[in-house]
A and B are shown apart, each in its own frame.
Chain A
Amino acid sequence: MSNFLFGRYLPGKSWVHQMSPQSKLMLSFYFVIVIFFANNVWTYASLSVLILIVVVMSGVSIGYFLKGIRPLIWLIIFTVLLQILFSSGGHVYWHFGPFSVSDTSLINGGYIFVRFLLIIMISTVLTLTTTPLAIADGVQTVLKPLKKVHFPVDTLALMLSIALRFVPTLMDEMETILNAQRSRGVDFGSGSLKHRIQAAVPLLVPLFTGAINHAENLSTAMEARGFTDSEHRSKYRVYRWQRKDTISWVAFLLVGVLVLFIRNN
């Protein structure tokens, strides 16, 4: 199943696997911001080198990354084409109606392509080396400063972990419901608008009802174990800041400074 968050985690013991989720999350975020400062060949080249080092450090074979990019390739090509055909300026090679191809638009198209690849790579590294639950923990740590303004960070994180925990469960239930309806002769793939509406209702009602039952059972179970609020909750896994995190941060920050220096102003 082509998925951007679930079922992609690959267990491992690499450098990137051992980093704490909060710094992986922050570094991905930081990397995406730095990408938007890149505007010439050298900046994109240095970012590409950095991401290649990260991929090697993650110990995941490059095939997984290519597999992640494949379903998106048409979309990327289409966006790059839009970019090439609709941007203006520079020496025009070809032009027809609203479309035109110039040297600047070709160069920009190439940059957009690399930019897409870089962003997809960094997010793939994150989801391949971090479990969804660890990501939820990371979110909690990253958002901690918001507690000062009474934003319910802990409640949000708990909600997110429960949601992530139940996505596969609901997915299984969905599968069961689909098969049950198919065995009754419902055809989901085709038909008129009216037909499709009729097909959607018997899928969604059991899905929602199932989710409500889960919520009810889970709250009973949580209270039976003495759950009162999400703030004073202890954790099974505690992620600590390690030397690996510090070294990675230093490397990423150095590349960020480099990009700021060699970009065209």
Chain B
Amino acid sequence: MPVKKNTLRLNMLAMFIAIILLQTSIPLIGYIPIGPLEITIIPMTVVVATVLLGTVDGAIIGGVWGFTTFVRAFVWPTSPLAAIVFVNPIISVIPRIMIGVVAGMTYTYLKKHLKSQTASISVAAVFGSLTNTILVLGLIYLFYKAKAPQLYQINIKELLPYLLGVVGTNGVPEAIFSGIVTPLIAIPVKKIFDRTSR
């Protein structure tokens, strides 16, 4: 049986990578525009992967998303912000890995202590989404407070309030959105997943 488990895990990871790649390239299922803001639903995919496959695999999926962001910052940036900030692999990759880690740990902890699965997934999703926002913000602050970025010799100190504003206003609705939608998606999908992987 272990071989079967491995093959299934490999394919599940591959499918989630495919979904992430799809979401980064098609706006409708990757980003939801609300007024001037754009809410990313990719963290939600990472949390769903974490709930289904476990913390380690969730972190892998998060890492794949981070790596895609990193590469795209050079060749196909989604915004001027991305072109400036995400060329630093620490800012683009690590927060995304941490989504999986934090959401996974929260979920495993809450699963034991809470009766409601909806509640534990919801809290894990909010934490995962906030981890992303806070880490990206914090790392931008750490890296660009002191010295100008290597790629663009912009005086970043004057840009900083603007950068923080953009990410902050996106981050809060993103977390709320994740908290509401993730359980709605993860629970029916988990039922199917448990049936196939038994």
| Chain A interface residues (CB < 8 Å from chain B) | 1, 3-6, 32, 36, 72, 75, 78-79, 82-83, 86-88, 98, 108, 112, 119-120, 123, 155, 158-160, 162-164, 166-167, 170-171, 174, 178, 188, 193, 196-197, 200-201, 203-205, 207-209, 211-216, 218-219, 222-223, 227-230
Contact = CB atoms under 8 A, between A and B. Distances in A.
A204 B10 contact: no
B8 A219 contact: yes
A86 B10 CA distance: 47
B28 interface: yes
Interface of B: 3-4, 6-8, 10-19, 21-22, 25-26, 28-29, 32, 34, 41, 44, 48, 72, 74-77, 79-80, 83-84, 150-155, 158-159, 173, 177, 180-181, 184-185, 188-189, 192-193, 196-197
Contact of A86 (B75, B155, B184, B185): B155
A1 B22 CA distance: 12
A170 B22 contact: yes
Contacts of B13: 159
Contacts of A215: 8, 11-12, 14-15, 196
B124 to A, nearest CB: 17
Contacts of B10: 155, 158-159, 162, 219, 230
A189 B181 CA distance: 18
A166 B15 contact: yes
Contacts of A119: 74-75
A82 B29 contact: no
A178 B28 contact: yes
B19 A219 contact: no
Contact of A193 (B8, B19, B34, B189): B34
B158 A205 contact: no
B15 A214 contact: yes
Interface of B is mostly: helix
Contacts of A200: 29, 32, 41, 181
A119 B77 CA distance: 11
A82 B159 contact: yes
B61 to A, nearest CB: 11
A223 B75 CA distance: 38
B196 A205 contact: no
A159 B74 contact: no
Contacts of B185: 201, 204-205, 208
A174 B154 CA distance: 41
A219 B7 contact: yes
A171 B25 CA distance: 10
Contacts of B83: 75, 79
Nearest to B52: A212
A259 B173 CA distance: 47
27 contacts: A1-B25, A4-B76, A6-B25, A75-B80, A75-B83, A79-B83, A82-B80, A82-B152, A83-B152, A83-B154, A86-B159, A87-B154, A119-B75, A123-B75, A155-B10, A162-B10, A162-B18, A163-B21, A166-B15, A170-B18, A174-B29, A204-B44, A212-B189, A212-B192, A215-B11, A216-B11, A228-B3
Given A86-B158, A219-B4, A112 B188 contact: no
B184 A201 contact: yes
B18 A164 contact: yes
A166 B13 CA distance: 12
Given A215-B14, A215-B15, A223-B3, A3 B22 contact: no
Contacts of A75: 77, 79-80, 83
